Structure 1
Amino acid sequence: MTNPITIFIVEDEAIAAESLKLDLEKIGYKVVGLADNKKDALSGIYRHKPNLILMDIKIKSEDDGITLAEEITRKTSHPIPIIYLTAYTDQDTIKRAIQTSPYGFIAKPYKVEVLETSINIALNKYHQILDRELKLIEQQQKLDAISKYDSLTQLPNQLSLVENFNAILEVFYQQINANADNYEETIPSLIPIFYLDFSRFNLIRDELGIDVSNSLFKAVVRRLKANLGEDVIIAKLEHYEFCVITEPIRHRQSAIDLAETLLEKITPPLIYKKEKIYIDFNIGISFYPIQGDSINELLNNAKAVVKENNGLGLNQYEVYSPAFHTNNKNEVSLESKLHDALEKEEFEVFYQPKVDIKSNKIVGVEALLRWNNDTHNNVSPAIFIPIAEQIGLIDKIGEWVLNKTCEHFKILEKKYPKKLEVSVNFSPRQFNDKLLEQKIFKILADNYFNPHYLEIELTESLLVKNPSLAVKKLNKLKSAGLKIAIDDFGKGYSSLGYLQHFNFDTLKIDRDFIKNIDANYKNASIVRCLIQMAHQLNLKVVAEGVETPGELNFLANNDCDFFQGYLFSRPIAFDQLIDLINLRNS
């Protein structure tokens, strides 16, 4: 026998409350409490934890039932469905009540059959919401299991790095705060990040085959684990690479000692069919906080000293230094040219179409900056945008891009009646600008551009640095009608859980997950789950970097909404965009 549904009644009039209680019990519900004021209602609800609350809008307290409902929803870990009882017809009161997202209204005087129907509808709606949340949690767990561990080594992969690094940071600052008085003497002040490059394993794979190279590589993993403590994080990166993060240390020498130990213990040859297979690798080292404040930056710095230092040789280690980079002269020249690029009108906005998968029509575009310089012809944005960010020019350049995009789309409106959305990327420096909202709104107003057709693209790593500030900024932009997209999803190595906390419209899946998705079962599983989760969170999904019909067919079969990529069009100049729209959308 199932337990009856429990109901708590908050009713201003005692006689009405008793009458309601009798009607509910006749139907088969169990009334676990009655209250006519805020204090008694709160204590009774917390004590009995009912399945449903019937809330009179008028109660014997300074606060009315609507305010009480808001407080109950805010303070209970699992919100209890609330149905309002009311004889009011005041529109302002009804609007306030609706804003609390109730599960229904019952007008007084009520009919018993209406009472029963309203309760059944409310409970069904509540259970649907619970089921949807449960499915989201299950999919999150499934996706984490697929995406956060390397299938060959069973080690955490790049997607786990932010969470693991943040866990070490928490310990790091706990130690500092707990021993602030003795900081100089006893407290660790550095977190070392090691990049281990076993890329010469490619030769082993080419000569002996993938099965043998995989077996030997797993033997290397066993050696790594044997020579690193349990509290050390070992993450498998792409190809034959690792990231190792140890607990905080006091002196750099401790990291150097560990690197020397690893080079000694890992390099002895492995035996395969009585043949010696030599293990060659290099180590790059960077330190938090002096060489970066994010795991991405620290790992890239550690990787740079290995990848860019041609004289390093094999089985060596190198510590990152800001003076290391071999392209400093080139960067200085580029920086000088960047300062004049706007004035010389060397920048141009290209557009890559966003295409509806079902109709194959262009529904929007992404604005992409290009720089045509006489000396450094067609400089890649991957090179000049980080420089512009570092030297503080990105704000002016970003404003120019948004202005130029608005100008182009006012022209497009006259030529093409159906309005398209345009997406514009914003860098960390732009997003952190205190005047960001005012600058955007001014540019839109100056160009008479409808904010509903502008989408701001932000990377996930930008948002997770200061989530509370990011939420406030996003809400301001959303309130003005702008749309928000999270760009390159998966590239920031962060958890999916934060998706629920930001008011996004669009999820853009990074091209690394899309490449060969029709043949890569792991990426296929990840993308399939991402699409399902995004849709349950009412997000549209854009797949980036679609280059083959097989990739597109997979996305179409799994209900992806939109795609971008060379299969449809490369980024093109504005004049070419007009021609393409006329051709494809006619």
Structure 2
Amino acid sequence: MNPLCQCTADISGIKASEAKLSHLVHHDALTNLPNRLLFSARLDHAITHRNTNEKIAMLHMDLDRFKHINDSLGHTYGDELLIQVTARLTQTLNPTDIVARVGGDEFAILVEELDDNDDASRVADNIVAAMEQPFTLNGHDYFTTASIGIAIAPDHGEDIDVLTKNADIALNQAKDLGRNNYALFQPELSESVEEWIKLEPQLRKAISEKQFRLFYQPQMDRSGNNIIGAEALIRWQHPERGLISPIHFLGIAEEIGLMKKIGNWVLEEAFQQLAIWRQAGLRSFKLAINLASDQITKQNLPDKISSLLNAYKIPPDMIELEILETFLLEHQHESSKTFTELRALGINLALDDFGTGYSSLSYLKKLPINKIKIDQSLVRDIPEDANDEAITKAVILLGHTLDLKVCAEGVETPEQRAFLEIEGCDQLQGYLFSKPIDPADFSNLLRQHNRLVALEA
């Protein structure tokens, strides 16, 4: 062979190999879509060369229930599903849009030359609608919907890292909204994530350094004149930021798996304080303690409560454990044995945040609940809102029909108090009577109501 021809053939072979290698490096092997590396380069180029009056959208899409299909049918069918998703995305999007597979069941989409944010929302809406249609695997129809987060340049960032991060944050928001949905990035979401990142290591430290405090809010009888109990409410005494409300840290604690530890600390602290008040003469009183889901599902809660009752010599009827209605709806069957055993100990059980729209009345008959607490969102607009009045009346009637005590939370005005007393609500709780206060102040409140008849030990 002519040496020149041989050289040319070698160069051609090298170029072909380089092209093949480049394609492998920049594309997903299963779907042949651009991978994360190539998508990032395209996104960076689009941001850099964006016209002043145009917008660019990055959409981060995650398949809902993909893991369930993949695990139940096997990876072969999981791969086939991803290939079909790729085809459907390609058919739904414009030819100029770029779609990439950036993870197992994650896709990223780049849409350029948008006039406004609504254009990006319409693209996401079309994708969500397309993914709602069934996928055929092995002759059978299966469903996997999509959750999508949207970030817009320049509104939500003008560099690749910021835009990608904000699209991820928006995706999590879409999942929180119930999946099969999309969410446009909102700046406050970023602030929330940054707050989370700052607080997580400090929250872990708070447990070991004993920075938590329990406050107590009185529960009154239906007249609003007599203290019949209290709810124990956690606060975080941050060394630099002061007292932090649980709304700012309990969600983080739950997400990172700290709620069992924090919940058990609350139980120990509450029992100890109740023992002190009992030594000071407190009787005919119930202390309500909120339960975290991990306390119910990840430990033997009846044994824990029994141990605390014995250690602090607390009569069981002085303890009331509060369970969120949303938890009960999700874990009714697996937790029913635990609740039955707690009632066998003599412990009272209350259903918190009742009446917020997710109620299923069957568990009120099946589970050994003693009390329901009307959510403060229903009490807040009494007497101005006739619908809230009607719902509150119905909840009180329902509770009494089932022989349950009814407590109204969030009572803040004399008008609310009067309405609830007329309707026969058994217990009232809210700022009208007292905000949550520390143990020393609550002890003084008990003395003012002649509930402590001896000096505290």
Alpha-carbon distance, 1:492 to partner: 6.4
Query: Matched residues in 1 for 2:294 and 2:402: separation?
Result: 28
Letter matched to residue 548 of structure 1: T
Letter matched to residue 327 of structure 2: L
Query: Matched residues in 2 for 1:248 and 1:494: separation?
Result: 30
Letter matched to residue 309 of structure 1: P
Structure 2 gaps of 5+ residues are: 1-63, 86-124, 136-142, 149-168, 452-457
Match of residue 343 from structure 2:
478
The answer on 1:463 being equivalent to 2:316 is no
Per the alignment, do residues 343 and 531 of structure 1 end up closer, same or farther by CA in structure 2, a change over 3 Å counting?
same
The answer on 1:554 being equivalent to 2:403 is no
Helix, strand or coil: the match of 2:249? helix
Alpha-carbon distance, 1:301 to partner: 11
The answer on 1:298 being equivalent to 2:163 is no
The answer on 1:519 being equivalent to 2:384 is yes
Residues 509-551 of structure 1: per-residue CA shift (max 9 Å, x gap): 1000001211210011111011101111111000000000111
Query: Matched residues in 2 for 1:332 and 1:177: separation?
Result: 35
Q: Structure 2 matches for 1:111-190, cutoff 5 A?
A: 185=80
Helix, strand or coil: the match of 2:320? strand
Query: Matched residues in 2 for 1:342 and 1:523: separation?
Result: 40
Asked which structure has the greater RCO (Cα within 8 Å, sep 6+), the reply is: 2
Query: Matched residues in 2 for 1:544 and 1:249: separation?
Result: 45
RMSD: 4.1
Q: Kindly indicate whether the alpha-carbon contact (under 8 Å) linking 2:132 and 2:144 is maintained by their aligned counterparts in 1.
A: no
Helix, strand or coil: the match of 2:232? strand
The answer on 1:330 being equivalent to 2:195 is yes
Helix, strand or coil: the match of 1:474? helix
Query: Matched residues in 1 for 2:146 and 2:340: separation?
Result: 46
Match of residue 568 from structure 1:
433
Q: Which moved more, 1:332-341 or 1:502-511?
A: 332-341
Residues 151-175 of structure 1: per-residue CA shift (max 9 Å, x gap): xxxxxxxxxxxxxxxxxx99x999x
**2:186 aligns with one of 308, 323, 328:** 308
Q: Kindly indicate whether the alpha-carbon contact (under 8 Å) linking 1:456 and 1:484 is maintained by their aligned counterparts in 2.
A: yes
Q: Kindly indicate whether the alpha-carbon contact (under 8 Å) linking 1:455 and 1:484 is maintained by their aligned counterparts in 2.
A: yes
Helix, strand or coil: the match of 1:568? coil
Per the alignment, do residues 538 and 330 of structure 1 end up closer, same or farther by CA in structure 2, a change over 3 Å counting?
same
Query: Matched residues in 2 for 1:309 and 1:302: separation?
Result: 19
Alpha-carbon distance, 1:252 to partner: 8.9
Per the alignment, do residues 506 and 300 of structure 1 end up closer, same or farther by CA in structure 2, a change over 3 Å counting?
farther
Q: Kindly indicate whether the alpha-carbon contact (under 8 Å) linking 2:405 and 2:426 is maintained by their aligned counterparts in 1.
A: yes
Per the alignment, do residues 340 and 179 of structure 1 end up closer, same or farther by CA in structure 2, a change over 3 Å counting?
closer
Alpha-carbon distance, 1:482 to partner: 0.6
Query: Matched residues in 1 for 2:424 and 2:214: separation?
Result: 31
Helix, strand or coil: the match of 1:378? strand
TM-score (ref. length: structure 1):
0.49
The answer on 1:428 being equivalent to 2:306 is no
Letter matched to residue 351 of structure 1: Y
Sequence identity percentage: 31
Match of residue 579 from structure 1:
444
Q: Structure 2 matches for 1:340-379, cutoff 5 A?
A: 340-358=205-223, 360-379=225-244
Query: Matched residues in 2 for 1:359 and 1:392: separation?
Result: 39
Per the alignment, do residues 306 and 383 of structure 1 end up closer, same or farther by CA in structure 2, a change over 3 Å counting?
farther
Number of residue pairs aligned between Structure 1 and Structure 2: 325
Helix, strand or coil: the match of 2:295? helix
Letter matched to residue 459 of structure 1: L
Match of residue 545 from structure 1:
410
Query: Matched residues in 2 for 1:494 and 1:180: separation?
Result: 38
Query: Matched residues in 1 for 2:436 and 2:257: separation?
Result: 26
Match of residue 352 from structure 2:
487
Q: Kindly indicate whether the alpha-carbon contact (under 8 Å) linking 2:229 and 2:287 is maintained by their aligned counterparts in 1.
A: yes
Alpha-carbon distance, 1:291 to partner: 7.5
Q: Kindly indicate whether the alpha-carbon contact (under 8 Å) linking 1:528 and 1:558 is maintained by their aligned counterparts in 2.
A: yes
Structure 1 gaps of 5+ residues are: 1-168, 190-227, 233-243, 257-283, 311-323
Alpha-carbon distance, 1:377 to partner: 2.1
Alpha-carbon distance, 1:359 to partner: 6.2
Match of residue 90 from structure 2:
none
TM-score (ref. length: structure 2):
0.61
Letter matched to residue 327 of structure 1: S
**2:252 aligns with one of 370, 382, 387:** 387
The answer on 1:533 being equivalent to 2:411 is no
Match of residue 413 from structure 1:
278
Alpha-carbon distance, 1:308 to partner: 3.4
